[in-house]
Amino acid sequence: MGRTLKQLIDVYRTDPDSNFLKLQHQVRMKHDGELTRLIEKHGSIQLRNIRFRTLMVWYRDWLAYGKIATARSFVNRLRELFRFGLSMLEDDECDRLFEALGKLQLESSPPRKVQMTADHARAIRKTAREHFGWVSIAQAQALQFELLLGQKDVIGEWVPLGEPGESDVVHGDRKWLRGLRWSDIDDKMILRHRVGAGRRPIEVDLRTAPMVLEELEEFSVSRPTSGPVIICDTNGLPWSTAEFRRKWRLVAKKAGVPDNVTNRDSFPAGMIRGGPDRAKISQTYTLKRIDYSLRMARRMSEDTH
């Protein structure tokens, strides 16, 4: 008797050689939620009974939610499942379905044209400090904008103690990883940090980042040598992702930043090097990273003609 989709998902979630277990905590939780939805809707279906037309119907149903990105995300979960099944389980049905998925014509989401400007960043910093007294949000915004860092690369993330990675910042059953530490900054104001999902190394001369220098001015005489750089102003711990986003949105709204500008727009999609109002960043470029940047730039160019 062949496997059902649920049985395949169960093995994918637990097999020690599965890529699922190697995902970063928050990414794995997002994927896990999507896998649960697949089980709820289609889990009882035998893999041998899934045809190309079946996949087309599922995809159209996902598109009906109105979000192209959501539909593509579910297709990606299936692709990962079937790749695992054909490579690790040597399942012929997974081999067939992986090939069938490749024939689906997927719609593409339009590239985001929204970008955060230097004026937006300055307004957020000023409002965070002067209106709310949330100095850490002003600091995080300067670091994100001028250094082209993602939110997690600045504020870090809280994960269960059992997750991979060592940390000396622990609270209850969670530990803090990934964020900027004072030990990342040397006595010449050179920041060295590993960023992104691939943890690629970057090196930044903070003296080329005026916003960051302004935000760290209070530490110019005596700078800490260890611990997280960004600490929540109310509890003295690194921010949780959800609370930081909620408070950042309150600040941005009060600062007059349009609602369609989000915190992730601090780092324009596809950008791999600095520009006006950005610090000079040295980093290791991978072919995958360069290819992504070129594709995003090409899409942006085509969309404006």
Divide the 305 residues of the chain into consecutive groups of 10 and give the mean pLDDT of each group.
93 96 91 97 97 96 85 96 96 97 88 84 96 97 93 95 93 96 94 87 92 89 89 96 96 95 76 51 47 43 40
Bridge partner list, 203: 192, 282
Of 216, 246, 255, the C-alpha closest to 127 is 255
CA atoms within 13 A on the CB side of 152: 16
Give the per-residue pLDDT at 295: 46
Amino acid of residue 127? T
Residue 51 pLDDT: 97
Phi, psi (degrees; rounded to nearest 5) at 261? -95, 120
Q: Is 162 in a helix, a strand, or coil?
A: coil
- Name the token pair of 101: 């998925």
What is the model's pLDDT at position 6?
97
pTM above 0.85, yes or no: no
Q: How many other CB atoms are found less than 10 A from the CB of residue 26?
A: 13
Give pLDDT, residue 271: 47
Give the per-residue pLDDT at 270.
44
pLDDT, position 24 = 87
* CATH architecture of the domain with residue range 118-303: Orthogonal Bundle (1.10)
Q: Give the C-alpha separation, 213 to 210, whole Å.
A: 5
Is the backbone of residue 236 left (phi > 0), alpha (psi -120 to 50) or beta?
A: left
Give pLDDT, residue 282. 59
pLDDT of residue 77: 97
pLDDT number for residue 39:
97
Rg of the Cα trace of the chain? Answer: 22
For helices 5-14 and 68-88, give the axis angle rounded to 10 degrees.
80
In angstroms, what CA-CA distances link 280 with 7, 204, 210, 235?
Answer: 50, 6, 11, 33
